[in-house]
Amino acid sequence: TAGITQAPTSQILAAGRSMTLRCTQDMRHNAMYWYRQDLGLGLRLIHYSNTAGTTGKGEVPDGYSVSRANTDDFPLTLASAVPSQTSVYFCASSDGTGVNEQFFGPGTRLTVL
Amino acid sequence: GQNIDQPTEMTATEGAIVQINCTYQTSGFNGLFWYQQHAGEAPTFLSYNVLDGLEEKGRFSSFLSRSKGYSYLLLKELQMKDSASYLCAVMDSNYQLIWGAGTKLIIKP
């Protein structure tokens, strides 16, 4: 079982360009999340989706958009990248029951120049 | 505001015991999580506490006091592979996780 996959692994992007970070899970989890992780800061929630067809804004949503057309995929789009979006991006999912722990993908390291 | 505090870095010796503390102030409480994150890798789930007391899982234990807004992660019989960052996170009233910045644990032989 793959769990959660993310693509690309890393990317260097020119400021002003757009980019979509891909995230796919095969655990049939209802909830999915996008976080960014920056040195010295905790993981910060960008957007989330409690179930297919719905999305919500997290702590730092500006400059990012998401969609959730089906259960498995949750892409994150940067419409016009800025250097402050340089970060490591993690996608996560949870099944919404019991302990409801989140399972994380391997991350995408994005550098915006 | 919501806040999770944990030490930035700790050092311990192989074979010893280390306690990593976490204090929190959040809007609501629906459980506290500990995750382990090795450098360059994704966080992985270690433990969950929702009631006061100690949860033991092998070499790792986690304690919670809701009245004090306090938790700790106890690691026994430290191994070199335990060198990692340990992340404390609280699930708030909206069922979203609020994360601490993590504690980098360095294990020395």
Cβ–Cβ contact B23 with A under 8 A: no
Cβ–Cβ contact B34 with A under 8 A: no
Cβ–Cβ contact B43 with A under 8 A: yes
Query: CB of A101 within 8 A of CB of A27?
Result: no
Mean pLDDT of the B36-58 span = 96
Q: Rounded to the nearest 10 degrees, how much is the dihedral formed by the CA atoms of A58, A59, A61, A62?
A: 160
pLDDT of A40 reads 87
Cβ–Cβ contact B64 with A under 8 A: no
Closest CA to B20 of B109, B97, B88: B88
Only one residue has tokens 């089906």, namely A70
Tell me the pLDDT band of A1, cut-offs 50, 70 and 90.
low
Q: Is the pLDDT of residue A97 over 80?
A: no
Only one residue has tokens 């030490």, namely B7
Query: CB of B78 within 8 A of CB of B13?
Result: yes
Contact criterion met (CB < 8 Å) for B101 and A106: no
Contact criterion met (CB < 8 Å) for A41 and B41: no
Contact criterion met (CB < 8 Å) for B44 and A58: no
Q: Is the pLDDT of residue B19 over 70?
A: yes
Tell me the pLDDT band of A42, cut-offs 50, 70 and 90.
confident
Cβ–Cβ contact B69 with A under 8 A: no
Nearest by CB: B45 against A48, A58, A101:
A101
